Amino acid sequence: MGQHGQDRPGQDDPRQVVWAVVASDIGPLMLAATDDGLVSVVFHATDAVRDAALDRLGSRLGADPVEAADSPLLAEPIRQLAAYFAGELHDFALPLDWSLISGFNRQVLRELTTVPYGAVVGYGDLARRVGQPGAAQAVGMAMGANPLPVVVPCHRVVESDGGIGGFGGGLETKRQLLALEGVLPQPLF
């Protein structure tokens, strides 16, 4: 990747990828966006986690991600996430870049965006909603592959027996998000 992804022969339109780390109630989040929209949200964005995520993004998107906290591509995602954590925003209205996920996983995650704030859905229910009633486990895998957690609310997917289910950001993070949305009681301490 000699010249920072610019003007490479045979590369029609090098993609712009910008990123920033922002503070949140669930710890630092790394947000990345392209011209198409928000492309990645990464939990627990310590330096090591951030660097690994940037390497993955660069190789998947074919562009070197550039830190740009003041980029117009990130302004609205940063504003809406802050409002969400403040309890003032219930529905994200952001352009999303789905290019990191495809096939069944993309279908499931797009359906998940219709599950409203303060509601939950079972893995099996979500599988039925995309016409794959036997695919509850595959739905779980799709949740684990979600490149846009919080905005595409995989924390709202729970087990049908009342269990909280797994979560890429850790169960404590899932509990905090569900408590914020009023699905679970706020912890006492």
Contacts of 181-188 spanning 24+ positions with Cβ under 8 A? 181/117, 181/118, 181/156, 182/118, 183/118, 183/119, 183/120, 183/156
CB atoms within 10 A of CB 21: 17
Catalytically active residues, by annotation = 154
Burial class (CB in 10 A: 0-12, 13-18, 19+), 122: middle
